[in-house]
Structure formats: structure tokens, C-alpha cells
Amino acid sequence: MKTREDIKGIICAMVTPMHADESVDLKGVRRQTRRQIEAGVHGVFCLGTNGEGYILSHKEKLEVAQAMIDENAGRLPVYVGTGCVSTRETAELSREAERLGADVLSVVCPYFAAASQDELYAHFAEVAESVSIPVLLYNIPMRTGVNLAVDTVKCLAQIPNIAGIKDSSGNFDQILQYIEKTPGDFIVLSGNDSLALWTLQAGGKGAICGIANLFPKRMVSIYERFLLGDFEGAKQASDSIRAIRDCFKLGNPNSIVKLALNLLGQDVGPCRRPFWTDSEAVREKLKAVLDSCYKGAE
């Protein structure tokens, strides 16, 4: 099992490959896991937002996690998204992921029904107490409808195996406060690719990136150049992903990443409906961006 100190760098928030009939492609999971490892990422992550964890069955989640863990074979930390709506199901899935060999759990805020900050604290505390491996809080308010307040995170950071937070709010001031108001060993990761470098500069430990599905080496270079003191090189790599991120306005970001992967020759299939954008107009616009900015790039 990896330690808290291993939670750092560029972690790919991997898509879940699917067949044309929307069934999970476990061979594809293994293939994409190998591709990320070979590209030099610092961790692999399944069942997050890009991994469509929100729409997979309990059984499918376990199958995807097992395929990634087996293919990884202990080489990198494996992060598994185990957040569900109920505390009971989240704790159950978290225990099962730990038994399968997950190194770190990512637990998104409960969604759909509004939760108070006290309820969020109780939820995360109970889940953390149900397992012995590190837990990352996952804050993505535009998808869950609730934001993890800084004071709540400050309190949760006192629980020994709550190791850190992935923040996908896009609110950089909040990231700064998470860093400033939690203990020095509490890990703050950006869930927004464009804020990866700035989070590192502020004292964060890295990022969990969807764009790493497309260009893992480029995303890794942001982190590695930063560590070498090459801020300008890191910024150049960070700026280079802007064009593809701008394409997210063309549809659901998950479907844009999968469509781009398919256009790059990586057969990952569709997103599970209804969350799938595959119009010819979108395909042509995306292809033009890939051809002009990213031809041959990883």
C-alpha cells in the first residue's frame, strides 16, 4: 500500500472505456492503464467524473477497479472513486475497494439532496472510519450542488486518514484557503487542469487531470518542470491545454474527452447515454483543434 507521501503529481482521472452497446470494456481499462503508466503519470484514478462513476452499477465499479488494480500491479498509486449518495453505500464501496487493493479513495460530496456542512462532516467522518487507507475529499459543487466549506475541511483534516482534498470548484481563492487553513501534511490537489500549475505554486501537491487522458506526457511535464524550477516551461505546457479545454463548451466535458480520445486513435467508445455528444459538427470542431494544436502530441 502506498503512503500519504505518495499522493502527489499528475494523476490521470481516467475515462472508462465502453463498447458500442455501452457495456464496460475491461480490456480497454487495462489498455488505458498501461498507456498512462508508460507516459509517466504519478497515479491512475478510476470511477471519478471522467470515469462515469455516477452512472455505473455497483458491480461494474468493482470490475473496473479490479481491472485497473491488476494491470497496475503495484507500480503506481491507484485511486478509486467510491462516493455515492448515501453514507452507507459509500462506506460499503470504500471497504470493497480497499479489499481489492486500492491505495487511495476519492469520495465526492453526496449529491441531489442538499446536505448541510454538519451532515457533510458526519458523512466523510463515518466513511473515513470505515477504512484504513487514505481518503481524499472531492469537491465539485457544479455537479453535486454543495460546496465543502473551508472550515468543514479544516475540521475533517484532523481525522487521521482523511489525507487531503481534490478541489474541482474552479475557485482558486478557496484552494488557497484549503492550503492555508489545514495542517502541513494535508494534501490539496487541483481537479481543474488549468489550475494545476497555480495550485503547485501555492503549495498544493499536484492535480487529478481529465486532460491527461489525451496528453499525459504534456500534463506530467507541468509537474516535472515545476519541480526543476522551470516555471516558464511549466507555464508553457499549462497554457498549451487551453485550446482543448475551450472545447468543453461544445458538450458534456466527459463526452468531449472521450470523443477526442477516439479521434486520437484511442478506442474508448461512447459515454453512457444520455451523456454523450457525438454530432458531426462537434466532431469536426474538435478534430480541427486537435490537428492544429496537438498533432502527434501526448
Quote the strand ranges of 20-97, DSSP E: 43-46, 78-81
Phi, psi of 90 (to 5 degrees): -65, -45
Sign of the dihedral defined by the CA atoms of residues 129, 130, 135, 138, in that order: negative
Quote the strand ranges of 78-158, DSSP E: 78-81, 104-108, 135-139
All three cell numbers of 107, joined, read: 469520495
Give the residue numbers marked as catalytic.
Answer: 138, 166
Rounded distance between C-alpha atoms, residue 261 and residue 37, angstroms: 17
Q: Which residues contact 98 (CB under 8 A, 6 or more apart)?
A: 105, 131, 132, 133
Burial class (CB in 10 A: 0-12, 13-18, 19+), 191: buried
